[in-house]
Structure formats: structure tokens, C-alpha cells
Chain A
Amino acid sequence: MNKTEYMNPYFAGVLLGLVLLATIYITGRGLGASGAVKSAVVASVESTAPGHTADAKFYKEYKTEHPESPLKNWLVFEVIGVVIGAFISGLISNRLKFKLDYSPKSSSKIRIAGALVGGALFGFGAQLGRGCTSGAALSGMAVLSTGGIITMMAIFGGAYMFAYFFRKLWL
């Protein structure tokens, strides 16, 4: 077997679905990712500017929802697991390598700028939309949440809408 081949997508999908199902059955909540970034942001701001977190509304609201330390959060632990799991997968499939992926027609500088701006947009959008592709779209679909499914359609619809303008980055 070719070591760098990817898993059959439908099989991977079934496994993903079972992981999500088990998560919902055990914990009563779905998967997520952007929430961990939020925890990290709150924790960093808290340690660098404690006065600010006591004043600004966003942090105050966060504090009332999560009275414990921002890093003592389910999603933070889950994302630590994701890093381990993906690393193991990369290890056994021989894909561990420091690498900057970009299209041959593009350049490394453009890719770095794109990743940074794209990440910022995604981070911002995930806060506004109360979850990202994992937390809102995938988990929302599993429990048939109206909001989750609307967010899912908006993410993919938006991506198709804007794809044409950024085709030079990828094709």
C-alpha cells in the first residue's frame, strides 16, 4: 500500500460520524475547534492585561459563562487531542514534514498573507456565527439545529460565492 494515500472519503466520513455520535452520547455536546482559539485569546489577554478583561464587555460575558480558568475548557482539551491524533496519523502515513503548501502559480509570500488574512476572517466569523465548520456546521447538522445548518449553508455558499475571485491563489 502506498504510504501517503488518503483514506476512502466515505469510510472516513463514517468514522467521523461515529466519533461525533459517541461524543454527543457521552458528553451531550458536539465537536469544535474555534472555541479553543477563543479560550487561548481570553487567557492571553487575561494574563497580559488583567485590568482590561475586567472592563471590556466581551471578557465579562465570557467570565459569567465560564467562571473557571479559560483554559480549563472542554474544547481546549479536545484540540490538544486533535494535535496528537493528527500527528499520529501523519506519522503512520509518512506525511510529517515542515512544508508551506502553495500553488505553483502563486508565491510563498502570497500564501503566507492569505493564510494570515483567511485565518483572521475565519476566527472573526466563527465568533460571530457561534462556531466554525466543526462546532456549528458539523455538530449542528448532527443535532439538526436550525442555526447550525444555516451557518453551514452560509459558510459553503459564501466560499462558492467568493471562490472565483481568489482562483489565482489555488488553480
Chain B
Amino acid sequence: MGPLVPDVIGNELNFIVAIFVGIAFGFVLEQAGFSSSKKLVGLFYGYDFTVLRVFFTGGLVAMIGVIILAHYGLLDMSLVYINPTFLWSAIVGGLIMGLGFVVGGFCPGTSVCAAAIGKIDAMIFIVGSFLGVLIFAEGYPVWEPLYKSANWGNVRIFDTMGMSQAAFATLLTVMAMGAFWAVRLVENKVNKITDYNVFNNKKYIWLTGFACLLGIAAFLLPDRKEVLMNEATLVPSSHLQEMEITSDELAFRIIDKERDLFIYDLRSQKDFEKISLPNSTRITLQSLFEKDTQKLLGVSKRMNIFISDNESEACKAAYVAQRLGFKGVSYLKGGFMQFNKDIITYSETQPTDNTVSIDTRRFRADAVKAFVEIIKESKAKSANSGNKASKRVLGGC
């Protein structure tokens, strides 16, 4: 599951990746013609819309790719860098960059590209941008209030606009198609080309139709996450009985110090802090779709046990985990409440029903003593271990 850094690719190797990414980036920009300021600013005077075509196509391809990867659980979006939103600095900064674009004829990426093939104006632009950053750094206290005002956090546009991701992506794609068509008309008018018919190429129409169809399909198909969550609520627990584990079995395995035992606790943070079992970690149902939890679940030959207050949450989690393809999944029958009653606070004087055998009662009487120590140890351990959750990648310029 992506991102591959830092687990599959280490942080140092990531710098080598950066060079290769840069080579590909620079190559494509230069091939597209972004090393010429005349071509770049053509966008703003209507004679050459190359920038819009390349930029919009690139953005769409990446956006759709990201959505698809996340949809199939191949990319954990909670770890991907989402540019933070600071409303006013984004607007004012953007306008200043727009002014810089028409005055200087480049943007930072394209200027590097153009300088690499010998454009002197681009080299001067880079010197200029160096000065611009220096001015920003030196006068930082002056613009800091603007820089930090209206912090909306790492919000995403479809949430801001209150629509689904697929709906927004479809809308953006349709807008791009419209823009591609419109800019051709503008370009022809400005450049006084009259014999060019936008619709003369059947291939483009087929491609556009196909793209629209894909967009609509994506819009109609529900998210895999939603599907699994819905299924989990509908599956009758009788279907999941083979994944059950009883309080006694779990207690026995814990006392036996089985090393492959791992417990996922779905109770609230407060309850978890109060009392937790050894080798357990607190999760939420949602986190089953995140990289950290999946990493734990994926350890081979591990016995993954879900527990919750009563069994229903754990049951759902076990179902989802199994459907996600993880092995050795089970859930605690009767939930933590039952476990508490059967083991942790077991008392022989408690009236027990006759289904509990003499052997079980004897086991529980021993277990209750052992668990006093076990719980104490587990508490000390969890207090010592810090939170090791993976963090969002720090990106941006």
C-alpha cells in the first residue's frame, strides 16, 4: 500500500527517487515547450494554449489516478500530503504569482527547465525568484499575520463544496473537456485560422466519449470502503461464527503468552486507557483502511483478534478485515464486557449457569489471579510506549 516512503523506500533512497522524478518532470516540461516564455504567456493573450492543455491534462490524469489508487486501497490518503488551506495567503500569493507570470514570463519550475537549455531570461528569472524569497524571509514579521490567517487545515475541495469526490472529479473533467474545445476556437480566432474544424477528428470524439463514460461510471460506483462497511452491518452474526473466540480461549492464550497473538481494541480511548489487554492496540473501524493498521494485520502467522464493548463492532471489524484479505482474523465472543465478567472480575461465588463446566470454572479461578498481574503489566507497558503512528508526509514548496 502506498505511499512507499518510508517503509518500502527509505528516506535516504527517497532523495535518489527525487532526482529521477525531477529528470522525468524536466524532460516532459521541456518537450511540451515550457522552456519558452513566449509559449507560456501565450495562454494569457490567446495565441497559444499549450500550457492549459498540458497542465489541465496532467492534473486530471494524476487526480483520477490518485482517486483510483485510493479506491482500491492501494494508496492511503491519510498519509499523502494535502496542501494546507490558508485562504487569504492562497489568494493574495496566487495573484502576486499571476502578476509575476505575465511580467517575468515563467514560473519557477519552467524557469529551471528553460535555464537548463540555455535561456538567459530564465536564469535571470531564477535570480529574481531568489531575491523574492529573500524579501519574504527578511520581511517575514510584516506578512506573517496574512500568511497564517484563515487556516482551514488540510481540507479537500469536494468537502469544502459539500459534494462527493467522484462528482467533483467528473465536474472538473467535463470542464476541462469544454475548455480544450473552447481554447481551440479562441486560438484559431486570434491566429486567424479559418479552415480548422474542431470536430474533424473522429478519434478525439471517441476518446472524449470514453472519458465521459469512465467518469460517469466512477460517479455511480460506490466506494469499496462504503460497500464493505455496508456489508458488515448486514451480515448476520451466525455467518461469522467460525471467527469467534471465547473469553476462556483468549484468556488461556494470553496467560500462555502466545507471541503471535495481537489484539485490536475498538473500545473508546478512555476505556482503553483504564484497562487494556497485553499486546493490544486501539483502533477504529475506519482505520482498517489505513496503512498503519493494515501493516499490523498483515504480519504473517499472526492471530488477529478484534475486541469491542459488546461483540457487534468487533464482529464488523473482523468481517471487513477478512474481506480485505487478512488471515487469522477472529473476534471476541460477547465482547470485552463478557471477558470482564468471565475472567477479569470472575468470582466463584458468582452464580454461574450450568453450561459452564467444572474445568472451566477452575480455569477461571486461576485466570482471575493471573490477570491481576497481566493487566498491571500491560498498563505500565502502554504508558511507556509512545505513539508511533505514521505521519503525513511533509511536502509542498
Instruction: Report whether B102 and A57 are in contact in the complex, using a CB–CB cutoff of 8 Å.
Output: no
Q: Which chain B positions have C-beta within 8 A of A139?
A: 62, 83, 395-396
Complex Cα–Cα for A90 and B144 (A): 40
Check A145/B96 contact, CB under 8 A, given A29-B393, A85-B25, A89-B31.
Answer: no
Instruction: Report whether B36 and A118 are in contact in the complex, using a CB–CB cutoff of 8 Å.
Output: no
B118-126, B217-225, B298-306 - interface stretch:
B118-126
Instruction: Report whether B108 and A122 are in contact in the complex, using a CB–CB cutoff of 8 Å.
Output: yes
Instruction: Report whether B32 and A85 are in contact in the complex, using a CB–CB cutoff of 8 Å.
Output: no
B112 at the interface (CB under 8 A from A): yes
Interface residues of A in 86-100 (CB under 8 A from B): 86-90, 93, 95-100
Instruction: Report whether A120 and B393 are in contact in the complex, using a CB–CB cutoff of 8 Å.
Output: no
For chain B, the bracket of interface size reads: 35 or more
Q: Which chain B positions have C-beta within 8 A of A42?
A: 137
Complex Cα–Cα for A140 and B155 (A): 11
Q: Which chain A positions have C-beta within 8 A of B143?
A: 128
With both chains docked as a complex, state the minimum distance between the C-beta of A74 and any C-beta of chain B, in angstroms.
5
B308 at the interface (CB under 8 A from A): no
A110-149 interface bits toward B, Cβ cutoff 8 Å, 1 = contact, 0 = none: 0110111111111111111111111111111111111111
Nearest A residue to B97 by beta-carbon distance?
Answer: A125
Complex Cα–Cα for A23 and B2 (A): 11
B358-397 interface bits toward A, Cβ cutoff 8 Å, 1 = contact, 0 = none: 0000000000000000000000000000000000111111
Interface residues of B in 1-43 (CB under 8 A from A): 2-5, 9, 14-33, 35-39, 41, 43
A51 at the interface (CB under 8 A from B): no
Q: Which chain A positions have C-beta within 8 A of B32?
A: 6-7, 9, 12-13, 16
Q: Which chain A positions have C-beta within 8 A of B138?
A: 56, 58
Q: Which chain A positions have C-beta within 8 A of B77?
A: 143
Q: Which chain A positions have C-beta within 8 A of B101?
A: 118, 122, 155, 158-159
A82 at the interface (CB under 8 A from B): yes
Check A126/B108 contact, CB under 8 A, given A9-B50, A83-B116.
Answer: yes
Complex Cα–Cα for A104 and B266 (A): 70
Q: Which chain B positions have C-beta within 8 A of A125?
A: 92-100, 132
Instruction: Report whether B137 and A101 are in contact in the complex, using a CB–CB cutoff of 8 Å.
Output: no
With both chains docked as a complex, state the minimum distance between the C-beta of B394 and any C-beta of chain A, in angstroms.
7
Complex Cα–Cα for A37 and B144 (A): 19
Nearest A residue to B4 by beta-carbon distance?
Answer: A26
Instruction: Report whether A9 and B54 are in contact in the complex, using a CB–CB cutoff of 8 Å.
Output: yes
Q: Which chain A positions have C-beta within 8 A of B56?
A: 13
Total contacting residues, chain A, CB less than 8 A: 123
A18 at the interface (CB under 8 A from B): yes
Check A143/B23 contact, CB under 8 A, given A24-B66, A122-B108, A129-B93.
Answer: no
Interface centre among A29, A117, A152 (most CB of B within 10 A): A29
Instruction: Report whether A158 and B95 are in contact in the complex, using a CB–CB cutoff of 8 Å.
Output: yes
Q: Which chain A positions have C-beta within 8 A of B65?
A: 17-18, 21, 142
B63 at the interface (CB under 8 A from A): yes
Check A95/B124 contact, CB under 8 A, given A119-B106, A123-B136.
Answer: no
With both chains docked as a complex, state the minimum distance between the C-beta of B171 and any C-beta of chain A, in angstroms.
11
Complex Cα–Cα for A81 and B66 (A): 23
Q: Which chain A positions have C-beta within 8 A of B122?
A: 115
Q: Which chain A positions have C-beta within 8 A of B106?
A: 115, 118-119, 122
Complex Cα–Cα for A23 and B32 (A): 19
A-B CB proximity, top 5 nearest: A118-B104, A81-B22, A158-B98, A119-B128, A154-B94
What are 17 A-B pairs at a CB distance below 8 A? Answer: A14-B57, A81-B24, A82-B29, A85-B28, A117-B104, A119-B100, A119-B111, A122-B129, A125-B98, A126-B133, A127-B137, A128-B89, A134-B397, A139-B83, A143-B80, A144-B63, A151-B97
15 other A-B residue contacts (CB within 8 Å) besides A6-B33, A29-B81 = A9-B50, A13-B61, A15-B24, A17-B62, A20-B59, A21-B66, A27-B14, A65-B394, A82-B26, A86-B30, A114-B103, A147-B84, A154-B98, A155-B107, A163-B102
